[in-house]
Amino acid sequence: MINKLRQNYQLSNVLIRMAFVLTYVFYAWHEYIASAYVVSNLNGVTVALNDSVIVATAILASLLLGIVLMFLVPVVTNLFLNTSRFYNVPRAEYALLAHSFCTLYFLFCGVLKLTYFVTPLLYNWGGVLFPFFTSLGCLIWFYHVTSKLYFNDLTRPYYFRNMAIVYFVLALVLEVLL
Amino acid sequence: MKKLCILLAILLLVCLLATCSVFASAESVSAETAPLDMQPFIEQLCELNGTNDGGQIRDFLLRQFRAVLGESNVIERYFADQEQNSGYNIEGFIDVASTEQCVVIGAHYDAVGEGANDNAAGIAVLFETMKLLYAQRGSLPCDILFVAFDLEEEGLVGSTRYVESQLHDKTETHGAIGNDDVLLMFNIDSIALGDNLYLMCENKHTDIADLILSHSDMLTEKPYAKGVYGELDSFGYGYYEAVQGSDHTPFRLNDIPTALFFSGNYGILGYSDGSGVMNTSSDTYSNLIAKNPDYAKRIDSVANTICDTLTDTDFATIAQNARKQLVNNRLTYNRWWPALVVLGVLVILAVFTWLYHRKLQKKAILGTGEVKSDKIFDKPQAEDIFSFDNTADGKNGKDTDDDLDGIFTFKK
């Protein structure tokens, strides 16, 4: 199966992008349902939505943002490669790998987020720790794969340094400050 | 004379029988219609809510409360905050001379539209509880404060102002009350609709919850793990519970144990009021009767549960201990603790990153610059495009023109 996919770039691209969007819905459904509840209870709006409408709204909204994110990933990876001056890396293939590791992140984190329903304590601690450790694991794996594929001993330190800088800045802003 | 005596005896007998029958009928009427007494109360309150005249609603409640507790034990307390919100909390008091500790029983009286379920029914419970407890005031373990809060729907404004200042003010009815003097706060909010009547004390089982539940066959404890959506935590409880947007929250945030009575349904998505009318203009008295004709039983049940809990001999001991069983929300549910853990891990990670980078730099100096890995996607090899004829061999090791045609051919 994997070998067949490796021989068919177009099919891999389509399948990974679809998986990216679907796992994003799985990862983010809590937040979208919460947002739908907020919108339905806003002062002055008072829209009485039943549960099925709220679920449908949440799924559609998360699908929409999943698709937007899917198109944003290549933009971000291109920006990273351009600013880092890594001109010899195949952009589309690199973006495809980024998509697949984001898919893994959404999947693992989505599974962990189901534990919020065990106790509210896990919401508070898990809400910060789950994304942090899952993203760290996926990023290390992504680096391990891409550094072997596209970089040699001379260029690898620069790739590692730039990726580490981006990661630390994002982790500080997203996980600690926000 | 004898006839006169017989006549008097008959008259006495008739009077006796009549008196007995009157008492008997009075008892049966009060037993059968006690919950139904609430109907005109709620109906009138809904009607006044519909007029949206705050003055009339307050006058109605003051009259009703004073009829039970006496003129001097009920006051209205004005508040105004910096955001131009102003209103009146109505406070009634039962004084038990032997103690300075008290229990607060509260429900909000402001409403969206008629507000039959949210919260005329809650005010009816407050009124019913007031009557029951006043009748048993000799056996109460502590003072009782009954408070009808204003501006709950505007963001718990009335209850917040009450806990911040009004509770502590010395008034003509009672002296200054500190937070530590409040053993427990009962809050009654929207109890008439939905399939289930719930109690929520804390995000874990507590002794006070067990005590309250032991006095009711209608109540169930709120399922703690459902409806957890942190983004909606607008009251600082540390995590979201759909029904925490009620007047017990300011008390709980001041470390006063609370018990919330509410109704509704908990599903996989969280809490819903079960009727779809909460905070809408459809929360009317006619809808209340249509959706739950037995709503008066709930009112009666909650009032009796509160009364029985307070008069339980174990109440004082358990309530004294309730504060120790509160979850420390500032420690447990503070988002900064996990953020600090992340920061610590990032610092350690930064050290390892620096060391690994140094290792990579050393390898770069000694390395060859060769890429040793395969590409992720296969590129077609020559064998995939052409077929080679390895058997063709001409004379003297040279290929003839005929042989050349057979060396390689394009695959179809």
Domain containing B54 — which CATH number? Answer: 3.40.630.10
pLDDT at B62: 94
For residue A132 the two structure tokens come to: 């942090």
Return the percentage of chain B with pLDDT > 70, whole number.
Answer: 73
Instruction: Write the CB contacts of B173 (distance below 8 Å, at least 6 apart in sequence).
Output: B72, B73, B74, B75, B91, B93, B95
Do B239 and A123 lie within an 8 Å CB cutoff?
Answer: yes
Task: State the DSSP H helix or E strand holding residue B46, giving kind and residue range, or none if neither.
Answer: helix B38-51
Do B225 and A31 lie within an 8 Å CB cutoff?
Answer: no
pLDDT digits (tens, 9 = 90+) for A82-138: 998 888 889 999 999 999 999 999 999 999 988 877 766 777 788 889 999 999 999
Q: Is the per-residue pLDDT at B61 higher than 90? A: yes
pTM of the predicted protein model: 0.69
pLDDT digits (tens, 9 = 90+) for B6-16: 555 565 555 44
Is B273 a member of any domain?
Answer: yes
Nearest Cα to Cα of residue B152 among B109, B116, B201: B109
> Does one domain contain both B308 and B364?
no
Nearest to B225 among A37, A118, A128 (CB): A118
Is B17 a member of any domain?
Answer: no
Among B233, B334, B371, B384, the residue to mutate for chain A (most A Cβ within 10 A) = B371
For residue B234 the two structure tokens come to: 């607008």
> Does one domain contain both B238 and B350?
no
Return the percentage of chain B with pLDDT > 90, whole number.
Answer: 37
The mean pLDDT value of chain B amounts to 80
SS3 content of chain A, % helix, strand, coil (to 5): 85, 0, 15
Total domains in the fold of chain B: 3
Is B16 a member of any domain?
Answer: no
Do A156 and B228 lie within an 8 Å CB cutoff?
Answer: no
> Does one domain contain both B171 and B235?
yes
Chain B CB contacts of A30 under 8 Å are: 229
User: How far is Cα B122 from Cα B197, in angstroms, rounded to an integer?
Assistant: 12
Chain B CB contacts of A118 under 8 Å are: 225
**ipTM of the prediction:** 0.84
> Which residue type occupies A156?
R
> Which residue type occupies A131?
P
Please give the biggest Cα pair distance in chain A: 62
Is B8 a member of any domain?
Answer: no
Instruction: Write the CB contacts of B111 (distance below 8 Å, at least 6 apart in sequence).
Output: B49, B118, B119, B120, B153, B283
Taking CA–CA distances from B267, the nearest residue in chain A reads A51
Contact of B181 with B102, CB cutoff 8 Å:
yes
pLDDT at A56: 84
> Does one domain contain both B202 and B123?
yes
Nearest to B343 among A35, A120, A176 (CB): A176
Do B378 and A30 lie within an 8 Å CB cutoff?
Answer: no
A·B CB contacts under 8 A: 138
> Does one domain contain both B217 and B97?
yes
Q: Which domain holds residue B122?
A: 32-334
pLDDT at B20: 43
pLDDT at B29: 35
Is B27 a member of any domain?
Answer: no
Do A30 and B229 lie within an 8 Å CB cutoff?
Answer: yes
Taking CA–CA distances from B229, the nearest residue in chain A reads A34
| Alpha-carbon B108 to chain mean position | 14
pLDDT digits (tens, 9 = 90+) for B69-118: 998 889 888 888 777 788 999 999 998 877 889 999 999 999 988 999 99
> Does one domain contain both B156 and B217?
yes
Nearest to B371 among A33, A127, A152 (CB): A152
Residue B384 distance to chain A (closest CA, Å): 13
> Does one domain contain both B352 and B321?
no
Among A46, A54, A163, A176, the residue to mutate for chain B (most B Cβ within 10 A) = A176
Is B23 a member of any domain?
Answer: no
> Does one domain contain both B125 and B249?
yes
Is B311 a member of any domain?
Answer: yes
Chain A CB contacts of B373 under 8 Å are: 148-149
> Does one domain contain both B213 and B339?
no
Split at pLDDT 50, 70, 90, the class of B210 is very high
> Does one domain contain both B329 and B339?
no
pLDDT digits (tens, 9 = 90+) for B112-163: 889 999 989 999 999 999 999 999 988 899 999 999 999 998 888 999 999 9
Residues in chain B: 412
> Does one domain contain both B94 and B175?
yes
User: How far is Cα B118 from Cα B130, in angstroms, rounded to an integer?
Assistant: 19
> Does one domain contain both B55 and B162?
yes
pLDDT at B85: 82
User: How far is Cα B241 from Cα B117, in angstroms, rounded to an integer?
Assistant: 20
Is B19 a member of any domain?
Answer: no
Q: Where are the beta strands (DSSP E) in B83-181?
A: 86-94, 102-108, 143-149
